[in-house]
Amino acid sequence: MKKCKLIYNPFSGNKSFKFDLDVCIGIFQEGGYEVHPYRTIREGDIERHIIEEMSEDYDLIVASGGDGTVNIVVNAMMQRGLAIPLGIIPSGTANDFATYLGLKSGDVEDSCRTIVSTEPKRIDLGLANGRYFINVCAGGLFSNVSQAVDKDVKNALGSLSYYLKGVEQLPDFHKIPFRITTSDRVIEDELYLYMIMNSTCTGGFNKLSPESDATDGKFELVAIRAKQLIELPRIFLKMLAGDHLKEKSILYLRDHYFKVECLENNPQSQESTLDGEKGPNTPFEIEVLPQALEVFGKFK
């Protein structure tokens, strides 16, 4: 019988995954897996368990949680050098990469059946100053919203808490000068926000980078140029519809390499996030690692 390591965050989202645990284990057993659950308790225990405690004879790792939990699991797998597939059960507040994979947030049964009934596919990963990410590297205004929201508020209000925190940051809105270097050009511009994406989804926007493909060896940079604030509502509506890439207010680049430099001496402007987790401060370099990880999903 094959062996599955199930890592779950009991504090993710509305904390309901524990009620679906028996259903989850049952589906994997029916699929021929012996399931070994691991319940995360505190910061750092997922990394320790995967890197130091987990045996090497597992055939599959399944992560139940949000984008942050998946990011932690992916980093630990890559550090350990585990060449086994990853399954995702989206049970967190933010589940952007799972959405890209066609998995429904909160639908544990559907995600588990997808994992046991489909073949995994190799996808690209990002590497930013030594730290891996599976979905997005973001910086500028609003990029630290997921870090700033209190966990209890996040669990109570879900995605709404991110929007409320974003509104709270509006008084700090200002132009941020950046230098973006790719493999063939250097661009200096004033931006509000940038996102370097492996998929089409982030921040609840499902068509933010409609041309993204997590298997093509390239990432897409989508940035909002610092224009008049009165333009932002219109731009956000365009972004929701996926009809924004040709707007003059949008900087759009596609490459396998990015270097990001913030040209102002403001510590907050120099911060970044990786899949919603704290990332490196600028300057930092991003490279695409093609076909670096196997994942399960409803690929088109």
Helix (H) or strand (E) holding 77: helix 67-80
CB-count exposure of residue 69 (10 Å: 0-12, 13-18, 19+): buried
| CATH architecture, range 2-118 | 3-Layer(aba) Sandwich (3.40)
Locate the domains of the chain by residue range: 2-118, 132-291
**In this predicted structure, what is the pLDDT of residue 88?**
97
What pTM does this model have?
0.88
Q: Which residues contact 146 (CB under 8 A, 6 or more apart)?
A: 68, 94, 162, 273, 276
Catalytic residue among 231, 277, 287, 294: 277
Give the tens place of pLDDT for each residue, 27-82: 999 999 999 999 998 899 999 999 999 987 999 999 999 999 999 999 999 999 99
Examine the residue annotation and report whether 211 is marked as an active-site residue of this protein: no
Tell which residue, 8, 12, 10, has the closest CA to residue 154.
Answer: 12
pLDDT greater at residue 252 or residue 160 = 252
CA distance 223 to 249: 8
Tell which residue, 234, 289, 278, 229, has the closest CA to residue 256.
Answer: 289
Whether 2-118 shares its CATH topology with 132-291 is answered: no
Q: Is the pLDDT of residue 14 over 60?
A: yes
Give the tens place of pLDDT for each residue, 115-169: 999 999 999 999 999 999 999 999 988 654 444 444 543 343 344 333 434 444 5
pLDDT greater at residue 166 or residue 83 = 83
Domain 132-291 maps to which CATH number in 3.20.20.370, 1.10.3720.10, 2.60.200.40, 2.40.110.10?
2.60.200.40
Give the tens place of pLDDT for each residue, 195-248: 999 999 887 788 889 889 999 999 999 999 988 777 777 887 888 888 888 889
> How does DSSP classify residue 208?
S
